[in-house]
Structures are given as C-alpha cells and as structure tokens.
Amino acid sequence: MYTPHTPADIASMLADIGVATLDELVRVPEGLAPQAQIEVPAALPERELAVVMADLASENTATNFRSFLGAGAYRHYIPPVLGTLAMRGEFLTAYTPYQAEVSQGYLQAIYEWQTYIALLTGLEYANASVYDGATALAEAAIMAVNATGRRSLVISAAIHPQTRAVLATYARGIGLSIHELPYAANGCTDFSALDALLATGDIAAVAVQSPNFFGVIDEPPADVVTRVKAASSVMIGVIAEALSLAVLRTPASWGADIAVGEAQSFGIPLAYGGPYVGFMACSAEHLRRLPGRLVGRTVDTNGKPGFTLTLQAREQHIRRERAISNICTNQAHCALLATMYLAALGERGLRDCAVANIRMTQQLVAALLELPGVTRVFAAPVFNECVLRVPGKAADVLLRLQADQILGGVDLGRWYPELADCILLTATEMTIEDDICALQQALQCQLEVLV
Amino acid sequence: MSLDIPLLFETGQPGRANRYLREEAAATTYLPPELLRETLPLPEHTELDVVRHFTRLSQRTMSIDTNFYPLGSCTMKYNPRVNDASAALAGFRDLHPYAPDALAQGALRVMHTLERALASLFGMHAFSLNPAAGAHAELTALLIALAYFAQRGEGTQRTTVIVPDTAHGTNPASAAMVGYKVVSLESDARGRVSLERILSTIGPDTAVCMMTNPNTLGLFEDHIAEIAAAVHAVGGLMYYDGANANALMGNARPGDMGFDLMHLNLHKTFSIPHGGGGAGAGPVGVSAALAPFLPTPIVRSQDDIFALDFSCEQSIGPMRSFWSNFAHMVRALSYILANGADGLAQCSKLAVLNANYLRVKLRDVIDVPFDELCRHEFVASAQGLKRDTGVRALDLAKALLDAGYHAPTMYFPLLVPECLMIEPTETESKETLDGFIAAFRAILTQARRDPSVIQSTPTTTPVARLDETQAARHPNLRWKPA
C-alpha cells in the first residue's frame, strides 16, 4: 500500500481528529456504500507482482519478430543515457512547474525543447507539447478556426488515417466540416480540387502531411501555398516522423504557418502506442492562439534570469469557459526525453540517423523489387517508408510472413480499399541487412508457391 | 547576469557529437537537393556534458522524491518504482502498436484487466482507456454526451452544461469547446451544491451536470443521490470528474451515486508519475446506455483471447493516436495488483486521515472556512491574515518553498479568497506531517511578527520571485542565435 502508518500513528491521529475509526472518516450517506463486491485481484507482494508482469510482457511475442512496421510509430535507437537521466526522480515525480522558484530545472528543459522544435521546424515559436501528433493537428485546426472565423478544413487524404479520424472526432463535436483532397498517382496530394474549395471563402486551413502516410515527401508546391495564403487560409504542415526534420526542408521554408507532429522518434519507446509527444510550432502571428503550456524566460526580483510558465491568460485554469483550449496536462516527461535525445545526438548524430533511415529504406525497396510481382506503387521520393504492391491480398501475405517471425509492414487495405494489395513498409537505422534478406527470402518463397 | 546553467545552445562545439551510429554520406546522395534543408543548426555535446546538464537541471526541480508536496487536487503520492520497472519490460516497451492482436495478447490482457478493475472499483459499466489526460477525458465524455443526445433526437434541445463554482477550470473549458453553454452553479454556505439550486437551474435544456465528489473544498457532496435523481428526471446526464477519486477509491463508487459518465486521472489516483506535467492518462467510464458511444478501439475478450475492436458504429471515434498511453496502463495495473481491493480502500482512508490531521493541527493558526470532517484535502484561507498583516496566500506558499516544502495549490477553488488547498496523500508519515505543521505554524508566527520577511520569500531557492508581467509582455519563448 506504500503507506507508512503504524497502528499507533493511526490511533493517535484519530484521537487528535476526534473520531473513533478510519471507517468513520470515509463514511458516505445511507445507500451510497458500494452496491457490489469490488472485483480486483488480491494484493501481491512485489516479488510475485514482478513475475505476473513479466509473464504478461512475455505474451507479447511480436517483440521477438523482425519488424518493418512504422506508419506513425517508429523503432529507433535510444541511447541508454536517456533512461538513466529521465528516470531521475526529480524529473519523474515533479508536477507541472507552477512554483517556478523550485522548478527552474524542468522549466529550462522545456524552454530548450521549445527551442529545438522551433529550430527543427523553422517556425518562430513552439509550445511545451501536447498529447500526440494527432491531437496536435486537431488543436492546430482549432487555432485556424479561431484565426479566420471560418468553419471548414481541407486536408490531404495522404495524412495518416488515424490522424484524420481523430480530427474528425474533434470536428464532429465542434461542428467543423472537412474536405479531403485525394492523392495523385505519384503518391503526393492532388491539389486540383483546391481552388474550388478555397473559392467558397470558408476554408480555415489546408493541412498536408510530409512525409505523408505513404512515406512520400509531399511538401505542397509553392503555387499551392501562394493560393492558400491568398485565400487568407492557414497552411498547416503535419510531420508524423519528426526525424525527417533533420534532413528535409523545414515546414517554414515551404510556407507552413503552423507545423504540428509527433516526436515519438526522438527517444520515446514504442510502448504499444503511448505515451508519445505531440509538438506544435507557429509563426509569431498565431502565438496567442497557440494552446498548451508555454515557458518563458524572464528575470527575478534581483534581476537574475530565470524561467516561468507564461501567457497563462490563454489557459483554462484562468479563463475557464473562455479559454482558447481545455488543455491542462502536456507531455512534459516525453518532451524531456526528446530534448535529451536531441542534445545527445546533436546535429551530426541526428543527420546521420535520418540518412541511415533513407539509405536502409532504399536498400529494402531495391531488394524487394527484385522479386517478380512486387512493384512500387508511388514514384515520388520517400523518407523511411514505402508502399509496395504484392501479388494477392496484403493481409494474407503479411499473415504468412508471421510464420517466418516477420512483421512485414502495414496492410493499406485497412484504410484504403483500393490499396488492399499494398503494404506500407518501414526501415530505420535499426533495420539490419539480415532483416531485409530474411524478408526477401520469405516473400520469395510465398511468391513461388503462388506462381 | 547569466543563467546558472547555460542553455544547451550556448555550449558545446561542432564536431563533439557522440558516435551512436555510423557516419553517413550526405543526404544528397539519396534524395534530390531541392527536397533537403540546407543547414541543421543544432548544438553538439559529449554524452558527459549532456549528463551533467540534465543532472544539474534535475537538482533544481522539486519533486515528490525530494520533498513533501501537498499540492491540492493533484494527489502527489509516492510513485512506486516497481510500476516503472513493469512498464520498462521489453515485451511492453518495444511492442509496436500495429503488432497483430495475436502477438500482443499480453498487452491486450493488461488493458482488459485494468478496464475491468476500474469498472468494478468505480461502479461503471465500461471504461475506455483511450483519453490521454483528465481534460482530454472530459472532452471525450462531452462528445459522448453530444452523440447520445443526438441519437435521442435531443441534440438541439440539450444545450447547457452545469458546472459548480468549485469545479476545475478544465470542466467549463471542455464544455465550451464543444459548444455547450456553461452555467456556473454557486456553492451554498456549506461549500456544496444544494438540491434547491440544482432544481432551479436544471431543465429540458440540461445536457450534463459535471461534479467533482468530494469537491475541491475536500467536502463530500452529501446530496449527490438526490441531485443525480433530479438531473436524470429532466433527462440530463451526471458526469463525475475523477480528480479527487483518491478520497473514495474502494469505499464508495460514482456509479452507485448515480453518475453516468466519469473520468479518472491515473496519474493522480493510481500513482503514475506526473513527470513534470504529463504524460497523464484519463480513462473514461460510462453506464451501459452510453457504452456504445465510447471511443475506438475497445478491447474485447472471448474465451480468454483478446482483440482490439474498431467496429463500433455509434462510437464517437478515436480521441488520439493508437490505443492508450499504454505504458501508464501497465503502471496502473501494477499498482492495483500490489494493493488489492482492500489495500486501495485503505489508501483512501489514510489519505483522508492525513488531511484531517493537518486540518485540526492548523485550524487554530489559519482560517479553515469549512471546518468539518474533510476528505482527502481541505482549504485554508489567508484572507484574515492578509487583512491583519498584508501577507497573502502567495507569500505563505513562497515561504513554504524556503522551508523545504512544495506549496499547496493557491487561489483555487475560486470561491475561497486567498485560498490554499492542501492534500497530503496517504504515503506521507506522521513525522513528515508534524514537520510540515511546525514549519507552517512558524511561518504564520513570523508573518504576524514581521510580514516583510515572509513577503520577500523565497530566498533559498535558485531564483527569487520571477517577473511574470515581463514574461507575458515580452515573450521570450526560445533561444535565438546571436
């Protein structure tokens, strides 16, 4: 129970309070006592608890497989130093740094995170993080709605389907309508329908993901960005693989007003989907609409520099129903891990990591294209993911690969019925040539049987 | 003056980076140059420099591990390390969210077991583990309410959400976010929501009544059953904000009180580390009638085989990427298994014991506006002290920092002027509480003797009080190259 009270402590404290029993302290009005037996397994001593948890963990046999899974969650190298540092109890067991005088360390780390995100995206400001990349896009959409007073959004169909689904959940509740732009034959967003949508005058924002869900580098052409801005709409860039920011053109340089994304790749374990960390960056024009915590640098009463949470007048604990967002919790500890990751890798380490991802992906694609019947679906350049067409249903091919202890990628038919014979494969710096050979061989065996 | 610890961007040298990976050719070897950025202006440090930097930053961060942290409504209890060890097991840590269900049975079993345990502990039909935090859970619950009323054809009729003045700011903010009109309900003289006021406020337009019980004054809403019946009678839903669930865990259940929807902050009640403000986790519980609207996916179990179910037609849809803040689900289950039902109930009792002990030991030196048996927290007011000496709640909070204690929550709830909200939690010993009592009494004595001393605190912290006006007027939110 992790409680320190001895029977003598309890007796003397009860006497001081003036009640006879502990039960008296938690008594509830007649009829409100639990109306059913509480069904929770009996308490275990730590030794036995550890065995139970280890057994549960070992049931996740997928972690023993060779994996080409990505699609918004990426397996990257995490230097052990991150675990050592981030698990320091001071970081792990602090609350939101409301009391700035005793939270300077954490505040400075978040200020450093805000700086890293600004440098990586090329935009002026970044917040202290949000729940994840998908909710970051939903929050960016709200920023755009508040900035323009318009109620419609245009998004690319090549944004991660899950991110679009989350945006749709928010949009239904808030009462926003969403138009999707299809993807073109080369895997990039097809903007041909954009002008007609912009002409309605009700488009708050246009959102594009690059690299997109197909792995394709999908930064909108300059003339598209010009038209979006001419229509006074907000251009939102979505980055599902933050590592790509190390080498690809920044969202700011192609014209994004707001960049949002997922920074799981910066030192955060896969952990079956969370917690991860969303980032949000924007131009100076949108700063006062940026949700979530912000850390600012200032001075103390003696003129000494320090950090504090700032611009809190935007937030729910001050403004209540007039706040710009209901966000309270951010993902401080994940943002801290990411900051440590970026500090440890540095410019060259991060660039080498990103290039290794590109190189291994090109190697993977080349190896699989040697197989008869395997074709590349989209011609445009990719970062660390690629869509390949296979003979037969992707779901069947992937299931058979599992017999060879291989997770061959993600079945695109799950979200795009027209791509039911396509697999999204990912390679990172963790992929080794032996993995690629094993996949190539296993796939070849399948194809031989089919032929 | 310069920062005591220079920024990462002000130190380091190009070429000093660590060799975690092989050196690679330029990106132009693999991709057309027009797709690539020209420079990547990030600092380079040795690992030792990184270790020193963050170790020093950690030493300037007060935490549960370093100090008593009686921050009201935040439940800063001890975070058992076995929970982190469980979450760090390779089978959990390295599991990809798109791993096939058949190869992720352990993870799905964790989620299902936790979901069943929470449902039983809080008397709800089902929980979704999807929401990422408390405020996110509130939003989820309100979207469920919207979908429920839309399905009943009452979407345009149900426009109002009722929020007591003691509620957390997230409640009205979440309600406003989805277009509900927020009606604030004034507490009565007993610091509670009165049945009369509820009856005169609710009507056919009432969608949801959001309540925290015990409320943020630490008081049990003793008319809760009648309030719930009244709200139900007009067709509205009752929402339970679980911020204070540590006060009743295992001893009373929101489901039995008539709540239709609720959330939990696993990072409060279930000992998940707050991590400096996240990641949290905010499961949402619902009655049977609302279960079809829960976010996707749902973990289903049949013959001890578990699967993620995305095919819920009436679902509001997913609230976030993937399934849950899974590592936290492992931690929460680990905590529940370590305690068992009786242990969890005992945790609540001892949390209430500690809060009442502090209350009776401080009430002769500071006003306790609602001086009755409280639950897991209570509020004190420095209003009288401020009138007599000019010393405010803020000054007391800062003086406590000097004394080696984290400050209580200040200026919340809003209805108590100069408010300090104190929640000790069950994991603090009598000795720790006695130390805090002595320190707080000494501060109050000093405040009456020489207010200026207290008003100029803190003096022993790395910085003194910060100029927040300047921070907001001239936002400096990032380092910039010279």
A370 pLDDT above the threshold of 90: yes
What does the pLDDT read at residue A333?
97
Judging contacts by C-beta atoms under 8 Å, the chain A residues touching residue B31 are: 217, 247, 358, 381
Residue B477 lies in a domain: no
Looking at the complex, does the CB of residue A415 fall below 8 Å from at least one CB of chain B? no
Residues whose CB falls within 8 Å of the CB of residue A136, separated by 6 or more in sequence, listed in order: A130, A260, A261, A262, A278, A279, A280
Contact A274 B325 (CB under 8 A): yes
SS3 A309: strand
Pairing of strands B206-212, B378-381: unpaired
Q: Count up the domains in chain B and report the number.
A: 3
The contacts of residue A229 (CB under 8 Å, 6+ apart) are A235, A255
Sequence-distant (6+) residues with CB within 8 A of B106 are A55, A56, A57, A58, A59, A60, B91, B92
Give the pLDDT mean for B284-290. 98
| Contact call for residues A258 and A286 (beta carbons, < 8 A) | yes
Whether residues B31 and A217 touch (CB distance < 8 A) is answered with yes
Instruction: Let me know whether B320 and B350 are in one domain.
Output: no
Domain boundaries, chain A: 65-77+346-450, 80-340
Domain covering A65-77+346-450 assigned CATH 3.90.1150.10 in the classification: yes
* Over residues A279-300, mean pLDDT: 96
| Dihedral of the alpha carbons of B148, B154, B155, B161, in degrees to the nearest 10 | -80
Closest CA to A358 of B218, B255, B424, B35: B35
Q: DSSP class of residue A286?
A: G
Is B68 part of a structural domain of the chain?
no
- Least CB–CB distance from B2: residue in A63, A305, A313: A305
Q: Touching check for A392 and chain B: CB below 8 Å?
A: no
User: Is B7 an 8 Å CB contact of chain A?
Assistant: yes
* Residue B405: closest C-alpha in chain A: A102
Judge whether A65-77+346-450 and A80-340 match in fold: no
Residues of B in contact with A433 (CB under 8 A): none
Let me know whether B18 and B115 are in one domain. Answer: no
Q: Do the domain assignments include residue B365?
A: yes
Residue of chain B minimizing CA distance to A56: B106
The chain-wide mean pLDDT, for chain A, equals 96
Residue B114 placed within a domain? yes
Instruction: Tell whether B478 is covered by a domain.
Output: no
Mean pLDDT of B163-178: 93
Residue A66 sits at the chain B interface (C-beta within 8 Å): no
Residues B393, B364 within the same domain: yes
Residue A407 and residue B96: Cβ atoms within 8 Å? yes
Count H helices, E strands: chain B? 16, 12
The answer to whether the CB atoms of B96 and A73 lie below 8 A apart is: yes
Best of B63, B66, B139 to disrupt the A interface by mutation (most A CBs within 10 Å)?
B63
Are both B139 and B285 inside the same structural domain? yes
Element (H, E) at B196: helix B195-201
Q: Specify the DSSP class assigned to residue A154.
A: E
Is B168 within the bounds of a domain?
Answer: yes
**A302 contacts chain B (CB < 8 A):** yes
Other beta carbons within 10 angstroms of residue B480's beta carbon come to 10
Instruction: Give pLDDT, residue A257.
Output: 98
Same domain, B351 and B417: yes
pLDDT of amino acid B162:
97
Residue B38 lies in domain: 8-59
CATH number at residue B403: 3.90.1150.10
- Contact in structure between A184 and B189 (CB atoms under 8 Å): no
Tell whether B141 is covered by a domain.
Answer: yes
The predicted complex's ipTM stands at 0.97
More confident residue, A102 or A34: A102
Window 241-300 of B: residues touching A by CB (8 A cutoff) are 247-248, 250-253, 256-257, 267, 271, 273-281, 295
Residue A299 pLDDT greater than 70, yes or no: yes
Tell whether B334 and B435 lie within a shared domain: no
Whether residue A300 lies within 8 A of chain B, CB to CB, comes out as yes
- Write the pLDDT tens digit of every residue in A116-167: 999 999 999 999 999 999 999 999 999 999 999 999 999 999 999 999 999 9
B/e letters for B354-393, b = 16+ CB within 10 Å, e = fewer, are bbbbbbbbbeebbbbebeebbbbbbbbbbbebbeebebbb
Question: In this structure, are B46 and B88 located in the same domain?
Answer: no
What is the full DSSP assignment across B365-420?
TSB-TT-S--SS-EEEE-HHHHHHH---HHHHHHHHHHTT-PPPEES-STTSTTEE
- In this structure, the answer to whether residues B377 and B236 fall within a common structural domain is no
For residue A28, the chain B residues in CB contact (below 8 A) are: 220, 248, 251-252
The CATH code for residues A80-340 is 3.40.640.10
Report CB contact under 8 Å: A28, B220. yes
Contact between chains at B61 and A103 (C-beta distance less than 8 A): yes
In whole angstroms, what is the distance from residue A189 CA to residue A320 CA?
39
Residue B76 lies in a domain: no
Question: Looking at the complex, does the CB of residue A375 fall below 8 Å from at least one CB of chain B?
Answer: no
Q: Does A175 touch chain B (CB under 8 A)?
A: yes
Q: Is B417 on the interface with A (CB under 8 A)?
A: no
The confidence score (pLDDT) of residue A317 equals 75
The answer to whether B337 contacts A43, with C-beta atoms less than 8 Å apart, is: yes
Given pLDDT bands bounded at 50, 70 and 90, which one contains residue A6? Answer: very high
Q: Is the pLDDT of residue A4 over 70?
A: yes
Q: Hey, what are B36's tokens?
A: 């690539």
Residue A450: its pLDDT value, please?
67
What distance in Å separates residue A233's CA from the closest CA in chain B? 21
Q: What is the pLDDT of residues B173-182, one digit of tens each?
A: 999 999 999 9
